[in-house]
């Protein structure tokens, strides 16, 4: 499953955007999510949260690529005021994604109604929500999604799921008894038809996190509190300790590394499976038979991530230097190059109409917010159930998204013609630099230049398709 992080810079609260980003990466590692993207917001620009809007567009574009979750620090991470947080929560839910709290690892909607019924609905309630979660953790009650191999049972304690538990034991046996590495274990599980909890394929990340999870010896951990023997173990303490020792031994010693970045990282995709291609560096050392001299060589290439991480897809590789040079030449010649999104034409007449609509759209948003508040008030008073609240609120949220998009578009229309002209000018300048200055540019400058020009490159064994940023 893929995860998207969303963080806001909130005045008066601790935790920088960098800290929140690190928390997101740790959250993904701990739960076996693929970190698909992260979106950041500082103070709103002209009343619009640009990062949030970009995230909504990203989620819409990625809907066909499988399950997706949005990770936020907590309910307060969606808005300064509770009504704003509620609006954002239901908007994201209307896109078919789950919104999870990174600290509690549970759906933030579970605390929304409780927070709404409390005092001070106009204030941030993140700390109160966190305090409630900590109390549950101290009692050993399971919060959020249980580890693979368990389910939440009586008194909210973890109980073993027989089929999943057998796979967990199988993974530990393959690593400890059979001596397989995590990549070969993932391949073995996929070859034998075992699926993850959500019916997906196993990867190195999911296998590694299972081998590292102390929950399998019966210890429940949350919010820095460890509760030993809180649930039945799947693995003995001795076996778990031996696995950790072996994994630590296999971890390469920390040392200063000097590496050259791959220019097309994040831009290259395998056209056979649509997954990203990642940069791989291999070093080789050999001794010549004749004179005994030692030779060394380094090979850099792009390889399909499905092959690297899951032992799936075929062995599609491309030498880094050759592929990067071919992409540059293709851009300059215009071979198999097209815009990622069609650029709209001049709509000067629509600009004036968009400005006239802006006031009406803002009024409609205020009316929709009042309707959402009424639904939440009614639910907090027990007059409608949570399921009915969800149905009504999702309908409002979906309409809010449409109105907000129309409002943003009306604001953009007035600047569209100038923006298109400016973009074309920038693109032409970038093409000149690509042609005339390439050899004089540093590696970071080359990366920035390519990222400004490219949306993505779809690579096949016999060719490629280059998509320029619109």
pLDDT tens-digit series, residues 1-13? 888 999 887 654 4
Element (H, E) at 174: helix 162-176
Is the confidence at residue 349, as pLDDT, over 60? Answer: no
| pLDDT for the residue 233 | 92
306 by Cβ neighbours in 10 Å (0-12 / 13-18 / 19+) ranks as buried
Lowest-confidence range among 120-129, 168-177, 422-431? 120-129
| pLDDT for the residue 158 | 87
Report the SS3 class of residue 128: helix
Confidence of residue 446 (pLDDT cuts 50, 70, 90): confident
| pLDDT for the residue 216 | 93
Cα(398)–Cα(87) distance, integer angstroms: 10
Kindly report, residue by residue over 294-305, the tens digit of the pLDDT: 888 888 889 887
Confidence of residue 138 (pLDDT cuts 50, 70, 90): low
Nearby residues of 456 by Cβ (< 8 Å), 6 or more positions away: 267, 268, 269, 340, 467
Is the confidence at residue 352, as pLDDT, over 80? Answer: no
- Cβ of 182: how many Cβ atoms within 10 Å? 22
In sign, the C-alpha dihedral spanning 18, 20, 23, 25 is: negative
- Going along 175-306, which residue ranges are E strands? 220-222, 225-227, 268-270, 277-287, 294-304
Task: Specify the pTM.
Answer: 0.43
- So what's the architecture of 2-137 in CATH? 3-Layer(aba) Sandwich (3.40)
Tokens of 92: 């994201």
Query: Span 315-328, mean pLDDT?
Result: 87
Q: What is the mean pLDDT of the chain?
A: 79
CA geometry: angle 315, 316, 319, nearest 5 deg: 120
| pLDDT for the residue 136 | 60
Is the confidence at residue 415, as pLDDT, over 80? Answer: no
Confidence of residue 350 (pLDDT cuts 50, 70, 90): very low
Tokens of 412: 């953009």
Kindly report, residue by residue over 353-378, the tens digit of the pLDDT: 556 667 888 888 889 989 998 888 88
Lowest-confidence range among 59-63, 150-154, 327-331, 370-374? 59-63
Confidence of residue 290 (pLDDT cuts 50, 70, 90): confident
Tokens of 53: 């809007």
Residue percentage of the chain with pLDDT more than 70:
78
Indicate the pairing of strand 277-287 with strand 463-468.
Answer: unpaired
Question: Which residue in 277, 336, 330 sits closest to 308, CA to CA?
Answer: 277
Is the confidence at residue 287, as pLDDT, over 50? Answer: yes
Question: Which residue in 146, 401, 9, 101 sits closest to 112, CA to CA?
Answer: 101
Query: Span 266-282, mean pLDDT?
Result: 85
Query: Span 123-134, mean pLDDT?
Result: 52
| Domain spans, the chain | 2-137, 150-250, 348-460
Cα(55)–Cα(37) distance, integer angstroms: 9
| Domains 2-137 and 150-250 equal at CATH topology level | no
Confidence of residue 454 (pLDDT cuts 50, 70, 90): confident
> Can you spell out the DSSP letters for 364-406?
HHHHHHHHHHHHHHHHHTTSS-HHHHHHHHHHHHHHHHHHHHH
Domain boundaries 150-250, corresponding CATH code? 3.90.1750.20
Kindly report, residue by residue over 187-235, the tens digit of the pLDDT: 999 999 999 888 888 988 889 999 999 889 988 776 556 777 788 999 9
Please answer whether residues 413 and 348 qualify as being in contact, where contact means their C-beta atoms are separated by less than 8 angstroms. Answer: no
Tokens of 119: 């005092």
Nearby residues of 43 by Cβ (< 8 Å), 6 or more positions away: 9
* Residue that wins the pLDDT comparison between 217 and 21: 217
| pLDDT for the residue 162 | 92
Cα(300)–Cα(340) distance, integer angstroms: 28
| pLDDT for the residue 125 | 47
Question: Which residue in 60, 58, 70 sits closest to 101, CA to CA?
Answer: 70
Query: Span 34-47, mean pLDDT?
Result: 76
Q: How many residues does the chain have?
A: 470
In sign, the C-alpha dihedral spanning 412, 416, 422, 424 is: positive
Helices (H), 198-250: 204-212, 237-250
Is the confidence at residue 179, as pLDDT, over 60? Answer: yes
């Amino acid at each position: 499953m893929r995860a998207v992080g969303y963080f806001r810079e909130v005045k008066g609260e601790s935790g920088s955007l960098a800290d929140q980003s690190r928390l997101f990466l740790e959250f993904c590692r701990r739960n076996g999510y693929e970190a698909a993207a992260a979106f950041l917001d500082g103070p709103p620009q002209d009343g619009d949260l640009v990062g949030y809007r970009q995230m909504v567009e990203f989620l819409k574009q990625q809907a066909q690529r499988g399950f997706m979750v949005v990770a936020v620090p907590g309910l307060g991470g969606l808005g300064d005021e509770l009504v704003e947080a509620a609006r954002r929560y239901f908007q994201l839910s209307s896109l078919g994604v789950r919104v999870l709290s990174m600290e509690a690892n549970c759906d933030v909607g579970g605390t929304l109604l409780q927070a709404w019924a409390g005092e001070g609905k106009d204030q941030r309630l993140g700390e109160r929500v966190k305090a409630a979660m900590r109390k549950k953790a101290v009692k050993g009650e399971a919060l959020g999604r249980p580890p693979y191999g368990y389910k939440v049972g009586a008194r909210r304690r973890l109980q073993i799921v027989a089929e999943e538990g057998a796979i967990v034991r199988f993974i530990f046996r393959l690593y400890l008894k059979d001596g397989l590495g995590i990549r070969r274990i993932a391949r073995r599980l996929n070859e034998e038809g075992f699926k993850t909890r959500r019916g997906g394929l196993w990867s190195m990340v999911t296998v590694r996190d299972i081998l590292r999870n102390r929950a399998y010896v019966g210890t429940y951990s949350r919010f820095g509190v460890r509760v030993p023997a809180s649930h039945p173990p799947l693995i003995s303490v001795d076996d778990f300790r031996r696995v950790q020792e072996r994994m630590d031994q296999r971890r390469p010693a920390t040392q200063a590394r000097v590496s050259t970045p791959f220019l097309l990282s994040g831009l290259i995709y395998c056209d056979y499976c649509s997954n990203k291609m990642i940069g791989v560096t291999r070093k080789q050392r050999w001794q010549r038979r004749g004179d005994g001299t030692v030779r060394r060589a380094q090979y850099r290439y792009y390889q399909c991530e499905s092959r690297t991480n899951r032992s799936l897809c075929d062995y599609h590789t491309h030498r880094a230097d050759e592929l990067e040079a071919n992409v540059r030449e293709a851009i300059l010649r215009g071979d198999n190059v097209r815009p990622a999104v069609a650029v709209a034409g001049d709509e000067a007449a629509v600009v004036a109409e968009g400005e006239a609509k802006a006031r009406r759209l803002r009024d409609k948003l205020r009316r929709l917010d009042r309707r959402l508040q009424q639904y939440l008030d009614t639910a907090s008073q027990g007059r409608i159930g949570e399921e009915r609240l969800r149905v009504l609120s999702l309908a409002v949220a979906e309409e809010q998204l449409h109105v907000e998009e129309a409002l943003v578009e009306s604001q953009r229309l007035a600047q569209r013609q100038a923006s298109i002209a400016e973009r074309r000018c920038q693109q032409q300048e970038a093409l000149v630099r690509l042609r005339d200055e390439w050899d004089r540019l540093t590696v970071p400058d080359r990366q920035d230049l390519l990222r400004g020009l490219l949306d993505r490159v779809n690579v096949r064994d016999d060719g490629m398709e280059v998509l320029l940023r619109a």
